[in-house]
Amino acid sequence: MTEETLEAAVLLLRARAMESYGIIKDMYARPTQEGDVELLAQKALHMASAEGAMITLQQYKADIIEAANKKRAADLAMAAAELEPDPAESIRHQDIVTAQNVAAQVREVDES
Protein backbone atom coordinates (compact mmCIF):
# COMPACT_ATOMS: atom_id res chain seq x y z
CA MET A 1 0.00 0.00 0.00
CA THR A 2 1.23 3.49 -0.72
CA GLU A 3 0.80 6.74 1.14
CA GLU A 4 -1.38 7.90 -1.75
CA THR A 5 -3.77 5.02 -1.08
CA LEU A 6 -4.18 6.13 2.53
CA GLU A 7 -4.72 9.72 1.42
CA ALA A 8 -7.31 8.58 -1.13
CA ALA A 9 -9.22 6.76 1.62
CA VAL A 10 -9.15 9.92 3.76
CA LEU A 11 -10.48 11.96 0.85
CA LEU A 12 -13.23 9.42 0.15
CA LEU A 13 -14.37 9.53 3.76
CA ARG A 14 -14.29 13.34 3.69
CA ALA A 15 -16.41 13.35 0.52
CA ARG A 16 -18.99 11.06 2.12
CA ALA A 17 -19.18 13.28 5.21
CA MET A 18 -19.54 16.38 3.04
CA GLU A 19 -22.27 14.72 0.97
CA SER A 20 -24.30 13.98 4.10
CA TYR A 21 -23.70 17.52 5.37
CA GLY A 22 -24.93 18.97 2.08
CA ILE A 23 -28.11 16.88 2.21
CA ILE A 24 -28.76 18.03 5.78
CA LYS A 25 -28.31 21.68 4.74
CA ASP A 26 -30.66 21.20 1.79
CA MET A 27 -33.26 19.62 4.07
CA TYR A 28 -33.08 22.56 6.46
CA ALA A 29 -33.60 25.06 3.63
CA ARG A 30 -36.93 23.55 2.53
CA PRO A 31 -40.23 23.04 4.29
CA THR A 32 -40.46 20.00 6.54
CA GLN A 33 -41.79 16.84 4.93
CA GLU A 34 -42.92 13.54 6.31
CA GLY A 35 -39.94 11.31 7.09
CA ASP A 36 -37.51 14.22 7.46
CA VAL A 37 -36.72 13.39 11.07
CA GLU A 38 -35.69 9.85 10.18
CA LEU A 39 -33.72 11.03 7.13
CA LEU A 40 -32.00 13.79 9.10
CA ALA A 41 -30.97 11.35 11.83
CA GLN A 42 -29.75 8.85 9.24
CA LYS A 43 -27.66 11.47 7.39
CA ALA A 44 -26.24 12.77 10.68
CA LEU A 45 -25.14 9.22 11.59
CA HIS A 46 -23.56 8.73 8.14
CA MET A 47 -21.77 12.07 8.45
CA ALA A 48 -20.48 11.31 11.95
CA SER A 49 -19.36 7.83 10.95
CA ALA A 50 -17.47 9.02 7.86
CA GLU A 51 -15.97 11.97 9.72
CA GLY A 52 -14.89 9.78 12.64
CA ALA A 53 -13.32 7.23 10.31
CA MET A 54 -11.52 10.01 8.43
CA ILE A 55 -10.10 11.50 11.64
CA THR A 56 -9.05 8.07 12.92
CA LEU A 57 -7.26 7.25 9.68
CA GLN A 58 -5.49 10.63 9.72
CA GLN A 59 -4.38 10.09 13.32
CA TYR A 60 -2.97 6.62 12.66
CA LYS A 61 -1.55 7.35 9.20
CA ALA A 62 2.05 7.83 10.41
CA ASP A 63 1.90 4.65 12.53
CA ILE A 64 0.47 2.66 9.61
CA ILE A 65 3.24 3.86 7.30
CA GLU A 66 5.94 3.16 9.91
CA ALA A 67 4.64 -0.34 10.60
CA ALA A 68 4.48 -1.10 6.87
CA ASN A 69 8.05 0.13 6.36
CA LYS A 70 9.30 -2.01 9.26
CA LYS A 71 7.53 -5.07 7.83
CA ARG A 72 9.03 -4.45 4.39
CA ALA A 73 12.51 -4.13 5.91
CA ALA A 74 12.05 -7.36 7.87
CA ASP A 75 10.79 -9.17 4.77
CA LEU A 76 13.79 -7.96 2.75
CA ALA A 77 16.19 -9.04 5.50
CA MET A 78 14.56 -12.48 5.63
CA ALA A 79 14.74 -12.82 1.84
CA ALA A 80 18.41 -11.81 1.87
CA ALA A 81 19.14 -14.36 4.59
CA GLU A 82 17.49 -17.08 2.53
CA LEU A 83 19.76 -16.24 -0.42
CA GLU A 84 22.95 -16.62 1.65
CA PRO A 85 24.55 -20.06 1.27
CA ASP A 86 24.21 -22.42 4.20
CA PRO A 87 27.66 -22.86 5.81
CA ALA A 88 26.95 -26.56 6.41
CA GLU A 89 26.30 -27.07 2.71
CA SER A 90 29.50 -25.20 1.81
CA ILE A 91 31.51 -27.49 4.06
CA ARG A 92 29.95 -30.57 2.52
CA HIS A 93 30.81 -29.30 -0.97
CA GLN A 94 34.35 -28.53 0.16
CA ASP A 95 34.70 -32.01 1.70
CA ILE A 96 33.56 -33.61 -1.56
CA VAL A 97 36.06 -31.60 -3.60
CA THR A 98 38.85 -32.48 -1.14
CA ALA A 99 37.92 -36.17 -1.23
CA GLN A 100 37.93 -36.12 -5.03
CA ASN A 101 41.38 -34.49 -5.04
CA VAL A 102 42.74 -37.08 -2.62
CA ALA A 103 41.29 -39.89 -4.74
CA ALA A 104 42.89 -38.41 -7.85
CA GLN A 105 46.25 -38.16 -6.09
CA VAL A 106 46.00 -41.78 -4.91
CA ARG A 107 45.28 -42.89 -8.49
CA GLU A 108 48.32 -40.97 -9.71
CA VAL A 109 50.51 -42.66 -7.12
CA ASP A 110 49.07 -46.09 -8.00
CA GLU A 111 49.67 -45.52 -11.70
CA SER A 112 53.29 -44.47 -11.23
> How large is the angle between the packed helices 36-83 and 3-29, nearest 10 degrees?
180
Task: Please count the structural domains in the chain.
Answer: 1
Domain limits at 21? Answer: 3-85
Would residue 106 count as lying in a domain? no
**Is it the case that residue 93 has pLDDT exceeding 80?**
no
For residue 35, is it left (φ>0), alpha (ψ between -120 and 50) or beta? left
Would residue 9 count as lying in a domain? yes
Would residue 96 count as lying in a domain? no
* 52 against 98, higher pLDDT: 52
Would residue 18 count as lying in a domain? yes
Would residue 53 count as lying in a domain? yes
Would residue 101 count as lying in a domain? no
* pLDDT tens digits, one per residue of 26-82: 999 999 999 999 999 999 999 999 999 999 999 999 999 999 889 989 988 888 887
CA distance 27 to 42: 12
Would residue 102 count as lying in a domain? no
Would residue 39 count as lying in a domain? yes
